[in-house]
């Protein structure tokens, strides 16, 4: 049995190499025949990077535009650590400390599971705060619009 396995272990790689060599002339594309998906259109010149907006920190809170919009963050969070072991947001906004820190408490919805049952810990699908909550900045709309938020 061991001899058979030893013979096959040398045979299989050799067979693979032969098969690849047989396909090489017809199976691989030449650089001359490859064309771009954009056709003959040339690329535009290098664009300047998007502007970095200044944060509007510790000012009045921005109004929400719709009922379930996540609130904006009115302070710096760039260096906050949020991973499976630590969440800097919970230190101030968690149930235990929010009054002491004079910060809004994490929404009750963040403690509910998919069935709507409220738990004692934050639901892990709501744990990574900056997936939904972003910092307030004074940015002009990218395109003109007539959107009016709800009251």
Neighbours of 96 (CB within 10 A): 10
CB 119 within 8 A of CB 112: yes
Position with higher pLDDT, 16 vs 69: 69
CB 107 within 8 A of CB 123: no
- CA distances in angstroms from 30 to 26, 35, 123, listed in the order given: 9, 11, 53
Position with higher pLDDT, 113 vs 61: 113
Rounded Cα distance between 14 and 19, Å, is 9
Q: How confident is the model at residue 19 (pLDDT cuts 50, 70, 90)?
A: low
């Amino acid at each position: 049995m061991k001899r058979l396995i030893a013979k096959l272990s040398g045979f299989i790689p050799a067979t693979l190499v032969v098969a690849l060599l047989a396909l090489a002339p017809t199976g691989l594309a030449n650089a001359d025949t490859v064309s771009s998906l954009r056709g003959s259109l040339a690329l535009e010149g290098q664009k300047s990077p998007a502007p970095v907006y200044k944060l509007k920190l510790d000012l009045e809170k921005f109004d929400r535009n719709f009922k379930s919009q996540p609130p904006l963050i009115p302070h710096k969070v760039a260096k906050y650590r949020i991973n499976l072991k630590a969440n800097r947001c919970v230190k101030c906004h968690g149930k235990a400390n929010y009054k002491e820190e004079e910060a809004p408490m994490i929404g009750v919805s963040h403690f509910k599971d998919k069935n709507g049952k409220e738990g004692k810990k934050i639901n892990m699908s709501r744990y990574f705060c900056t997936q939904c909550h972003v910092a307030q900045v004074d940015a002009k709309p990218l395109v003109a619009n007539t959107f009016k938020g709800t009251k």
